[in-house]
Structure 1
Amino acid sequence: MTRTIAIIAALAAIGLMGALYVLTMRSGGADQFAQCRTAQVAGGASAIGGPFTLVDENGQTVTDADVIDQPALLYFGFTYCPDVCPLDSARNAEAVDILEERGTMVKPVFISIDPDRDSPEVMKEFTDNLHPRMLGLTGTPEQVKAASQAYRTYYQKQEPEEGDEEFYLVDHSTFTYLVLPEHGFVEFFRRSTSAEEMAEQVQCFIDAS
């Protein structure tokens, strides 16, 4: 399963990098975040990110404006994920703690791509175990699909094991997205980025915003 996700993530990365390169070619002024980037990403990358409506871990309907009310790290995964999602989310939580120690507040957000099993209650238990400020989001299949498409993520439910319809895995891309209230999406991070590296880059973007 890990190998499958790695292949999918690599293919998704190629597509995302291509999209970001095109964005850098747009007309306009200088990129205020140029010194922070590790990829060819233009500030205010409008082709990635955008409006969404989801349900938070307390059962409340929220929009992107409610969620991105401060710098945020968005990750798309599922709570039944056996390895990748917990590791990536723990890395994100560690980066958030590093930043908080410096006086910089960043919101960690976990968006489920498995709405059939990830109820608000399940999301709350999952996120509370990872970080006290991590926000879990789920929703209807249609809401989740719209949010995923906005951020150009990939996910695909695998066939459940015979005789156990509740047990299945979901292949998915594994990027973490940095979004800022006044700018939207500004950068993505791969699994290979450490918590310390992520914190340094996030701080750079926030300082430059």
Structure 2
Amino acid sequence: MNLRAFLSSFLAILLVGALAACAEQAADPPLKGASIGGPLNLVNQDGQRVSDASFAGKYRLLYFGFANCPDVCPVDLAVLGAGLRQFETDDPSRAERVQPIFITVDPERDTPAVLKRYVANFHPRLIGLTGSEHEIQQVVTAYGGSALPDEPNEAGGYNVNHTRFILLMGPDNAPIAIVPHDQGADGVAQALDQWVR
């Protein structure tokens, strides 16, 4: 094979690789067109009312749970926080466009003060949101979740059974993907790297 033929073959291989990478990046998000999401009008951990406009231009990394959760919520939020910190280290400018949000499914106990203490354990930018039972139920349903409190025990304590997922929404509040928290911080960071532009 002469030099010209070798270079032509080599360039063709590079071109195919570049086109494949572009096609992979241009792939539609898994949740494109899904009817997930809706308006947010809740109260943050500082007692301030927030809406969609509060997160304009931001990717929203959403998790539904509750501060008294004995097991899965703290584990998932720790993974979310670690994955976001990893993405912040790898690409600070894109990571700045991601707003992590924890929405309680237990508004009776999760007051703004409770949420303020709770979310501080997982990431400095994690926002906790609460509201009335009606407001929370509307948001949970709109975002494809469910939450059902158990019967209280003799001491008045109860658990809340809820769906468990980390949802990435775009700056236009359109659904993008379920972030794989079961793959640890690396899975969260990789999903953010794939979908945050």
User: What does residue 150 of structure 1 align with?
Assistant: 142
Contact 1:68 1:179 in 2 (8 A): no
How far 1:191 sits from its partner (Å)?
A: 4.0
How far 1:140 sits from its partner (Å)?
A: 0.4
CA distance in 1, matches of 2:88, 2:109: 32
| TM-score, with structure 2 as normaliser | 0.80
Distance 1:147-1:32 versus aligned 2 partners, 3 A rule: farther
CA distance in 2, matches of 1:177, 1:65: 19
Please identify runs of 4+ aligned residues in structure 1 that moved more than 6 A. none
Q: Give 3-state SS (helix, strand or coil) of 1:181's partner.
A: coil
Return 5+ residue gaps in structure 2 as ranges: 1-22
1:132 aligns with 2:128: no
How far 1:69 sits from its partner (Å)?
A: 4.0
Contact 1:56 1:138 in 2 (8 A): yes
How far 1:182 sits from its partner (Å)?
A: 2.8
User: What does residue 76 of structure 1 align with?
Assistant: 64
User: What does residue 204 of structure 1 align with?
Assistant: 194
Aligned partner of 1:121 among 103, 113, 117 = 113
CA distance in 1, matches of 2:57, 2:137: 22
User: What does residue 92 of structure 1 align with?
Assistant: 80
User: What does residue 34 of structure 1 align with?
Assistant: 27
Q: Give 3-state SS (helix, strand or coil) of 2:39's partner.
A: coil
How far 1:183 sits from its partner (Å)?
A: 5.2
How far 1:189 sits from its partner (Å)?
A: 2.5
> Quick one: which amino acid aligns to residue 188 of structure 1?
I
Q: Give 3-state SS (helix, strand or coil) of 2:182's partner.
A: coil
| TM-score, with structure 1 as normaliser | 0.76
CA distance in 2, matches of 1:32, 1:186: 13
How far 1:193 sits from its partner (Å)?
A: 2.7
CA deviation string 1:26-78 (max 9, x = no partner): xxxx997526x5xxx243x3500111211100111111231354122100000
Contact 2:25 2:194 in 1 (8 A): no
Distance 1:116-1:33 versus aligned 2 partners, 3 A rule: farther
How far 1:88 sits from its partner (Å)?
A: 0.2
Provide the identity percentage.
Answer: 36
> Quick one: which amino acid aligns to residue 47 of structure 2?
G
- Count of equivalent residues: 171
Contact 2:65 2:105 in 1 (8 A): yes
User: What does residue 152 of structure 2 align with?
Assistant: 160
Return 5+ residue gaps in structure 1 as ranges: 1-29
- The structure with the largest alpha-carbon Rg is 2
Contact 1:174 1:190 in 2 (8 A): no
**C-alpha RMSD over aligned residues:** 2.0
